[in-house]
Amino acid sequence: MKYLYLTLGFLCLGLGAIGAFLPVMPTTPFLLLASFFLSKGSDRFHHWFRGTKLYKKHLESYVISRSLTLRSKVSILALATTMMTISFIVMHNWIGRTSIVLIMCFMYYYFIFRIKTDSKPTNPDIAAADE
């Protein structure tokens, strides 16, 4: 099982790294999965992953405070909304379109009411990047 967790962890890490550069792929979900799988597979790899720039930029502030800055929320929602709107326009199936609308409603509900908005980032590297 340890090798399976490590393999899945590095696969998700690679997909998350690609997602950091391609606007079509999400970054955060893959990095969260990578963190989970690497923590199950090896303490050494888990500590290494928590020291990477990808983790510090995309996950650390959320893991520490369970909140996101307004800028992070807006950028995530804008990207996700753009991708889902394109999917909505391209899709001609009413069940698929209804599913997309329901997912978007849930996404906005979750980001607005369930994730706290932090007035300033907890990570000084993120604060410097925001300025």
In a domain, 123, yes or no: yes
d(CA 95, CA 17): 32
Write the burial class of residue 120 (CB in 10 Å: 0-12 exposed, 13-18 middle, 19+ buried): exposed
* Residue 4 confidence (pLDDT): 93
User: What does the buried/exposed string (b/e) look like for 59-94 if buried means 16 or more CB atoms within 10 Å of the residue's CB?
Assistant: bbbbeeeebbbeebbeebeeebeeeeeeebeeeeee
Which residues form the domain of 43?
1-58
* Residue 131 confidence (pLDDT): 47
* Residue 123 confidence (pLDDT): 53
In the chain, the number of structural domains is: 2
In a domain, 131, yes or no: yes
**Are 53 and 83 within one domain?**
no
**Are 41 and 95 within one domain?**
no
d(CA 44, CA 99): 41
In a domain, 64, yes or no: no
**Are 130 and 77 within one domain?**
yes
Give me the average pLDDT of each 10-residue run along the chain (131 residues): 92 86 74 88 87 81 82 82 87 90 90 84 52 47
Q: Which of 29, 58, 87 is the last residue of a domain?
A: 58
**Are 123 and 76 within one domain?**
yes
**Are 92 and 118 within one domain?**
yes
* Residue 6 confidence (pLDDT): 92
State pTM to two decimals. 0.57
